[in-house]
Amino acid sequence: MLPMFRKSFWVPYPESDVYPTVSKAREAISRYCEQNGWSCSFPGEDEALIDGALYEVYRGYETGSRGNYGVKCRAK
């Protein structure tokens, strides 16, 4: 499947003015999964296993947000 058609979602990241480190991204993803009742683990540095599906973790600029950083999960 083409990358633009893969399932993806932005994870709420309250410290949008600070670049998300690996540990901060994992905290944000874990918190988001807990709030939604999903299981979550991290098999790699930039990978997350959420409810049995493997996601690539993007840490960087949130498109259209005027320079804010964010955390995005995209299906692999």
Residue type, 66: R
Lowest mean pLDDT among 3-12, 27-36, 58-67: 58-67
Structural domains in the chain, sorted by start: 7-75 (3.30.1370)
For residue 8, list its beta bridge partners. Answer: 74
Residue 4 has pLDDT above 80, yes or no: no
Distance CA(29)–CA(38), nearest Å, equals: 10
Please indicate, yes or no, whether the overall pTM of this predicted structure exceeds 0.75. yes
Q: Nearest Cα to 18, choosing from 47, 63, 56, 61?
A: 61
Q: Give the mean model confidence (pLDDT) for residues 32-43.
A: 96
Distance CA(8)–CA(71), nearest Å, equals: 11
Distance CA(50)–CA(71), nearest Å, equals: 14
**Average model confidence (pLDDT) across the chain:** 90
Phi, psi of 43, rounded to the nearest 5 degrees: -75, -20
pLDDT band for 6, please (50, 70, 90 cuts).
Answer: confident
